[in-house]
A and B are shown apart, each in its own frame.
Chain A
Amino acid sequence: MSTTAQATDVVMRATAITKVYGGTHALRGVDFEVRRGQVTALIGENGAGKSTLMKILAGVETPTTGSIELDGEPVEFRSPVEAVAHGVAIIHQDLSLCPNLSIADNIFVGRERTRGAFVDFAAQRQEVVDLLAHLEEPIAPGTLVGELRLGQQQLVEIARALSEDARVLIMDEPTSALSAVEVEVLFRVIRELTARGVSIIYVSHHLDECLELAHDAVVLRDGNVVAQAPVAEVDLAWIVSKMVGRDESALFSPMPHDPGEPIFEVQDLIVADPDNPERLAVRGVSLTVHAGEVVGMYGLMGAGRTEMLEALAGRNPVLGGTVTLDGRDLTHASVPERIAAGLVLVPEDRQRDGLVPTLSVGRNLSLAAVSRYVRGPFMRRAVERLDVEATSTQVRVKAASQDAPIDSLSGGNQQKVVIGRALMTQPRVLVLDEPTRGIDVGAKADIFALMAAEARTGIGVLFATSEVSEVLHASDRIIVIARGRVSAVFDPRTTTREMIMAASDVSSSAPSTEDE
């Protein structure tokens, strides 16, 4: 423990951290410092290594090489429990809560307050009531977490981290599901914590949040720290240029704007939240996709993007409204009927919903189009092979052969396989949910080029993303979704980052009729 505690001395120092997963380097020798009572913003694109670094600092992952010092003492965290014991706590990006347990049980799981051999429920409940009151979210501590909306679940995560009384608190995308009001409350809490000498590591896609909160900014790209500076000395443009490493508009091929006839129409769509049926994920969305057009849909986590796209693909039941493609009503059609009609979804989570890990690259590609290669009871495998070959060239999959195992491919190439599979069904409308999630910059550019090329052949493309730069540079038209509604429609040529972000951030306290 350092005795010379000044306002800006270093609490945590990570030196030359590397992390290798399989053959890929997630981190390549990162040096990182956290000062006492300061907010350090860690900034970078998807796949830059932010979450890996956070997991290492919090003991969730162990580094391949490198060391961590806490107040000058070398430490080694083999588990998150050891990290917490040293005063390092984390709020996870992907919510790690048990839906079948109550709020109080989740907050204290693994470190229950006990009296003798028994759990002291009264003490836990009181602590939780106080924590939630502090976060201005007075929910009954006995409520099941599975019954909370996403934002409230995120507050439960935050409350848990606060209850751990950490001196270094890592927040990995803490506001991804929060409303503007809830974000303000969180910021107030963060300022109270730093005033007490707690250090915060803040990771967020929302650069404006980082600029508002942080004292220091550290930018990661491709597993390296590429820049760091006091926030007072930098601006948004500086951060963006460091993140992307080049002028961001050069990333994507220019879009020809040549919309044809409207081919795909969604009218007043209402969809339930599959995790919490009392809540609606989509509350009356209408939109049109024209032939030859790429429509980009932007929205925060929990805005209803995924639920809506899955309903369009026939995986979530539609409670109200209509879906028509080429004048044909598909509102209640089955998934195969939709695919046959030309409506196909590239799902958000390719590992879970997109790929069959036990099949080869080629078999994954032809999976949705198998029925087209049937003659009598048999598959015409030669024709299938030819088509698979053609498609994998078209989507630029880098694989040894179409017989290679699917998990031998990188994330970006796996994503191209999922897109190629959708294209093999010869769609009229190609719907993609977060098509660039977790893939590298080069593959991103390939995928956007592919989307544009497909649109040029006369089909409609609808994609959803949570990255403003993508929606700005890869779409012909931008639709912003907030709290299950369309909150704005923009022309990307006359729109700024800030306008899109503002439209996506509809506060929860506003009456719901105000959205439109």
Chain B
Amino acid sequence: MATTTEARAARSASAEQNKRSAGEFLLDQRAFVALIVLVIIFAFLSDAFLSPTNLITMTKHVAYNAILALGMLLVIITGGIDLSIGSIVGLSGIVAGVMLQGWNLSIFDSTAYPAVWIVIIISLAVGGLVGLLNGILVTRFNVAPFIATLGTLYIARGAALLISNGATFPRLQGDPTLGNTGFSFLGLGQPLGIPTAIWIMVVFAVVFAVLVTRTPFGRWLYATGGNERAAQLGGVPVKSVKVRVYVISGVCAAMAGLIIASELTSAAPQTGTTFELNAIAAVVIGGASLSGGRGTVKGALIGAFVIGFLSDGLVMVGVSTFWQTVTKGLVIVLAVMLDQGQQKLKDARAAAVAAQSVKRELAATQLSAQ
């Protein structure tokens, strides 16, 4: 975050003069504070919460939501939204399922059993293709992102149901005689004692952080979301930037779909329903603005952790699923309220300070006039 850190440094320097209260600092870092508070509360309520096994289990649950949130983050920074990712999660799992169960190529009258790495690449490509469709709808046909991705939400889900005929593909571990084993590594493998899903999340997070903060593409994301016209006049290939973020988001969703299918060693066409909402919630809790131009990888990750730890923690302390849903909603609304409140508080304070000095000046000039 070179700019944002610079900007933040500049902002905190100027805020220093106004003697920032501890409260304001906490507001600034509210997503992180919320996470810490959650951890502390659940640690008190449940002995098992802070055990290493539980932390790893919870982080594994966080992992696929975090990957979805990273893709969503890029879209949201450019001022768009991607509602189709939950359906892509289901579709990519089904595509992988079809190929691992035996890909019936009727024209050749034979059944193919592609190797796992080919399955993974094709599944990711399918996610990317749905993203490409989103991008084309948004840039070429000027469909509002909300509507375009709402459409592909249904299309991708329908495709998953069509391919699977509504059924679940079980037993995806593969068959050594066909040479297509190894798919379960994604969801069940534990290199160095850490689940593969967590490794994938870490790699994605690092790559995205570098992409967003260190590359021209990262600048273009923020420029497009901040002032699209200015970006365009400045030579940013705005349309291509938008297409690319939807493709990336689609690939992220497909990755999440593969992890889930691998973990369950089965693929169901309904997998991933409403996951897009979790991803949006994570990105927003992490401080991104739905109107674009604002948001960080760190924030989106913390947001995903807040949502993940919250749901798992509530389960562990035995809160009913109905109350879990209500609580999740409250946290999201609270996060956005704090966001608005913080900005208002800052603005009002700055304005009041400036107004005071002018009032003093005015009083002084009136005195001297008399």
Task: Confirm or deny: A110 has a beta carbon within 8 angstroms of a beta carbon on chain B.
Answer: yes
Q: Which of A81, A98, A280, A513 contacts B355 (CB 8 A)?
A: A280
Known A-B contacts A98-B226, A119-B214, A119-B219; the reply to A142 vs B233 at CB < 8 A is: no
The answer on a CB contact under 8 Å between B236 and A110 is yes
Known A-B contacts A80-B235, A100-B225, A516-B365; the reply to A284 vs B358 at CB < 8 A is: yes
Which of B3-11, B113-121, B260-268 binds A? B3-11
Known A-B contacts A80-B235, A142-B6, A320-B359; the reply to A100 vs B351 at CB < 8 A is: no
Contact with A along B1-42 (1 / 0, CB 8 A): 011001101110010000000000000000000000000000
Q: Which A residue's beta carbon lies closest to that of B346?
A: A277
A311-B364 Cα distance, complex, nearest whole Å: 24
Task: Confirm or deny: B198 has a beta carbon within 8 angstroms of a beta carbon on chain A.
Answer: no
Question: How big is chain B's contact interface, by range?
Answer: 35 or more
A109 contacts across to B, CB distance below 8 A: 219-220, 223, 230-231, 234-236
Interface residues of A in 329-350 (CB under 8 A from B): none
CB distance from A97 to the nearest CB of B (A): 5
A92 contacts across to B, CB distance below 8 A: 233
Interface residues of B in 214-270 (CB under 8 A from A): 214-216, 218-220, 222-223, 225-227, 229-231, 233-237
Interface residues of A in 499-516 (CB under 8 A from B): 512-513, 516
The answer on a CB contact under 8 Å between B235 and A114 is no
The answer on a CB contact under 8 Å between A102 and B6 is yes
CB distance from B245 to the nearest CB of A (A): 16
B215 contacts across to A, CB distance below 8 A: 117-119
B223 contacts across to A, CB distance below 8 A: 98, 101, 105-106, 109-110
Task: Confirm or deny: B80 has a beta carbon within 8 angstroms of a beta carbon on chain A.
Answer: no
The answer on a CB contact under 8 Å between B216 and A114 is yes
The answer on a CB contact under 8 Å between B354 and A84 is no
Q: Which B residue's beta carbon lies closest to that of A280?
A: B354
Task: Confirm or deny: A361 has a beta carbon within 8 angstroms of a beta carbon on chain B.
Answer: no
A interface SS class = mixed
Task: Confirm or deny: B361 has a beta carbon within 8 angstroms of a beta carbon on chain A.
Answer: yes
CB distance from A173 to the nearest CB of B (A): 16
Q: Which of A81, A101, A105, A119 contacts B235 (CB 8 A)?
A: A81
The answer on a CB contact under 8 Å between B350 and A277 is yes
The answer on a CB contact under 8 Å between A112 and B355 is no
Interface residues of A in 115-157 (CB under 8 A from B): 117-119, 121, 140, 142-144, 147
B222 contacts across to A, CB distance below 8 A: 98, 100-101, 105
B351 contacts across to A, CB distance below 8 A: 272, 277-278, 280, 319
Q: Which B residue's beta carbon lies closest to that of A319?
A: B355
B358 contacts across to A, CB distance below 8 A: 270, 280, 283-284, 320
Chain A CB within 10 Å, residue with most, of B225, B346, B355: B355
The answer on a CB contact under 8 Å between B352 and A319 is yes
Task: Confirm or deny: B348 has a beta carbon within 8 angstroms of a beta carbon on chain A.
Answer: yes
Task: Confirm or deny: B174 has a beta carbon within 8 angstroms of a beta carbon on chain A.
Answer: no
The answer on a CB contact under 8 Å between A268 and B362 is yes
Task: Confirm or deny: A393 has a beta carbon within 8 angstroms of a beta carbon on chain B.
Answer: no
The 8 closest A-B CB pairs, nearest first, are A142-B6, A110-B235, A98-B226, A272-B351, A277-B347, A319-B355, A100-B226, A96-B230
User: 19 extra interchain contacts, Cβ-Cβ under 8 A, other than A118-B210, A513-B365?
Assistant: A80-B233, A92-B233, A96-B230, A98-B223, A99-B226, A101-B222, A108-B219, A110-B236, A118-B214, A121-B2, A160-B234, A268-B359, A268-B362, A277-B354, A278-B351, A278-B353, A280-B351, A284-B358, A284-B361
Sample (5) of A-B pairs whose CB atoms are under 8 Å apart: A98-B226, A110-B223, A118-B215, A140-B10, A272-B351
User: A residues within 8 Å of B by Cβ?
Assistant: 60, 79-81, 84, 92, 96-102, 104-106, 108-112, 114, 117-119, 121, 140, 142-144, 147, 160, 268, 270, 272, 277-280, 283-284, 319-320, 512-513, 516
